[in-house]
Amino acid sequence: GEQKMLLVGLVLAAARLSASDEGRVPVILLDEVAAHLDNRHRDALFDEVRQLGCQAWFTGTDAELFAPLKHHARFYHVDDARIHERD
């Protein structure tokens, strides 16, 4: 978890730098990161991404890990090469 948080911290720092230097926030894609973080670090990550105001794509197989984003995000499910929006 600590190595993942370090890597995620670097990604978020680069996004903040891009926002301040270029005046635009990049799109962030984080693959399966939520599964590798404890609740405290996962909540901190979600809060930081919301504060950054960027578009972020999180992938994962356990929908419950993304429950804190329920009122802040759209959810999609990929099944048999089809994308379905979820509630």
- Predicted confidence (pLDDT) per residue in 18-75, tens digit: 888 888 888 999 999 999 999 999 999 999 999 998 899 999 999 999 999 999 999 9
Contact between 63 and 75 under an 8 Å Cβ cutoff? The reply is yes
The helix (H) or strand (E) run that includes residue 59 is strand 56-59
> What is the torsional sign of CA 56, 53, 38, 69?
negative
d(CA 11, CA 57): 13
- Number of structural domains (the chain) is 1
d(CA 73, CA 50): 10
DSSP summary character for residue 87: -
Its pTM stands at: 0.84
* Residue 52 domain boundaries: 2-86
